[in-house]
Structure 1
């Protein structure tokens, strides 16, 4: 896998791919930058590159024995798990480098798998269960602009609203969300959605530089167990109702969540770093 090339002046460059994940066409789903590397660059350089791309995540890949090491950076911080940029990474390996699925990515969250089923790329992530919160964090309702019917906590806050329409119409105060105690990531959700969909959600993470994430795999490792128990079935079609929007075909399999989606290449290019290689 060719991670770097050279400019006319002899300085090395890095290849970069911009992918819309969980999307059927450009400008839908969640955009991610995917940067294959021959070796790891300093963390400060990776963070600066992610800030320059200014997408919810930039994925960096280095080949290792038996697979790849995968890391994800928002414009503000490295994160321990990211679904859409993992799907984008599998898409790039398949369509740009001819690497055959399945893929095994070593990450901060353990080994994460990506399989291919036709045009869909299917993530295999650990499920996270939620517990109901007796006392929501102070200021949550004010930050969201609505009082949730229920509040639960897995890794993130899960706020249950009355309808999919209420989820889609929400206009939160991002500064107040970022100031909430006890966690910087909040999702809102309700049963139902567009025809053929079982669950609707949105996801906010302003404290880590992502006011609203367009489509979020890590939200669904929490939402799928939650809604599977409530709806009495393990296979769910989920819609994330951000401005861009995206659909995930999900299944709860024991302690794992499978999330399938399509992806579209938006652009490919070169990163001009004097010390890249």
Structure 2
């Protein structure tokens, strides 16, 4: 039996009980995949991140309670927070590497932690009857990224009041469905639904903003954008489109530090 450290961090929030909670498990060597998945299932959060230090960078992987995912923004932000605040990392830039998403850097500054992620490839697509059946409000545009479907709605109130059918969303061929609209006090707002991967509604989805940022940068004619995810917990982000990369900035706070025995 192994004894491992575990942290729970609320990402994209300045206070506990806000943003998106992620579990972070630092490792000295990788456990078998089945064990990683069971730990994530036991934690029962939208994502559990594991990392292993290898020379000057950290290998990182993310698991929902059901599957390993290609990219997770909030759990990467939370992992950086753990390294900076609890695990003695001294420099201002962290270098993560994912075998699914490549190089992912995180920079610490006075305004928070900034994720440097690859910009998603986004294409406009036709609104299908399958998409229309997922929500009570009717989307006005649809886009497809590498893993997610994006539905654009008329206004922020549509996103706030959105009623949804998780069984129908499960039938969409995507990691998840992002609902978005132009914001009233921020540039754009969104919600994220991922029952396909065991996450009915994600509180704050950093990776979704690699898809949303190029869409809204084009619509609004600017590359630096403010965003808010309108889940029950809510979360605030600042996004900047830098060609093939997107910078996503937010804050994080530690909720729990403990040990697990596996």
Q: Normalising by structure 1, what TM-score?
A: 0.91
Distance in 2 (alpha carbons) for counterparts of 1:69 and 1:210 = 24
CA shift, 1:119, in A, is 4.7
Q: How does 1:44-55 map to 2 (within 5 A)?
A: 44-55=34-45
Structure possessing the higher radius of gyration over alpha carbons: 1
User: 1:101 Cα shift?
Assistant: 2.6
SS in 1 for 2:6: strand
Q: Which residue of 2 aligns with 1:85?
A: 75
Aligned partners of 2:242, 2:119: CA distance in 1, in Å? 9
Matches within 5 A, 1:1-277: 12-99=2-89, 100-107=91-98, 108-134=100-126, 136-155=127-146, 156-180=148-172, 182-193=173-184, 195=185, 197-273=186-262
For the aligned residues, what is the CA RMSD?
A: 1.1
Mapped to 1, the partners of 2:64 and 2:219 lie a distance apart of 32
In structure 1, distance between residues paired with 2:123 and 2:261: 47
Gaps of 5+ in 2: none
1-structure distance, mates of 2:129, 2:62: 30
Distance 1:143 1:199 in 2: 21
After the TM superposition, which segments of 4 or more aligned residues of structure 1 sit over 3 Å from their partners? none
Structure 1: gaps (5+ residues): 1-10
* Partners of 1:88 and 1:101 in 2: CA distance: 15
8 Å contact kept, 1:39–1:62:
yes
Q: Matched residues in 1 for 2:220 and 2:2: separation?
A: 53
Contact 1:14/1:270 (CA < 8 Å) preserved in 2?
yes
Structure 2: distance between partners of 1:138 and 1:65? 50
Counterpart in 2 of 1:3?
Answer: none
Please state how far the C-alpha of 1:227 moved relative to its aligned partner.
0.3
In the alignment, which residue of structure 2 is the partner of 1:5?
A: none
Report if the CA contact (8 A) 2:214-2:241 is conserved: yes
Please give the alpha-carbon distance, in whole angstroms, between the structure 2 residues aligned to 1:38 and 1:90. 16
CA displacement 1:93-151 (0-9 Å, x = unmatched): 000012023111110200100001115000000111322113x3442111112221111
Is residue 25–residue 50 contact of structure 2 (8 Å, CA) maintained in 1?
A: yes
Tell me the distance in 1 between the aligned counterparts of 2:124 and 2:46: 28
Report the equivalent of 1:4.
none
> What SS does the aligned partner of 2:214 have?
helix
CA contact (8 A) 1:177 1:184 kept: no
